[in-house]
Amino acid sequence: MTTLYIGRLKVPWYYPQVTFNPMPAKIAAITNAQNAVVTTVAAHGFISGMDVQLFVNSSYGMEINNKTCIITVIDNFNFSTGLNTLQLSAFAIPAKTQEFPAQVVPFSGLNFTGVVYNTYEQLATPGNP
């Protein structure tokens, strides 16, 4: 067994040859809304219905670190969440470079048929072929 670090998350990894598909994406913006919209720096590759976790250091203002949600994709750079951020401080990229940039990590992936599956349960379980 090896250990995989995703953001600050430490995951026991039994299948090091398997990678997340799609990969984590850096966050460019998050709206203050009933269902917050996240904008990524580059095309995210996510699909609607995926489970994701947001890693947003407190220096970004919005206190949304470690929140998980199921997303609805708007376009290649934007997706909506079920997270209500109306009462939170605005998201702002800090002037100082961050050791851990704000990012979104998928906990779902795509299998070869395009079906969404839960990556963490599928891949981090001992004895799973």
Q: What was the pLDDT predicted at 45?
A: 87
Alpha helices in the chain (DSSP H): 119-123
Number of continuous H segments (helices) and E segments (strands) in the chain: 1, 11
Predicted pLDDT of residue 3: 55
Residue 86 belongs to a domain: yes
Identify whether 6 is part of a domain: no
Distance in angstroms (rounded) separating the CA atoms of residues 92 and 118: 30
Residue 105 belongs to some domain of the structure: yes
**pLDDT tens track, the chain, 129 positions:** 455 555 555 555 444 444 556 788 999 999 999 999 999 999 998 888 888 899 998 889 999 998 999 999 999 999 999 999 999 999 999 887 666 789 998 876 554 444 444 444 443 333 433
Looking at residue 16, what is its pLDDT? 46
Contact (Cβ atoms closer than 8 angstroms) between residue 106 and residue 20: yes
CATH of the domain at 73: 2.40.30.180
pTM of the model: 0.71
Q: Which domain holds residue 34?
A: 20-123
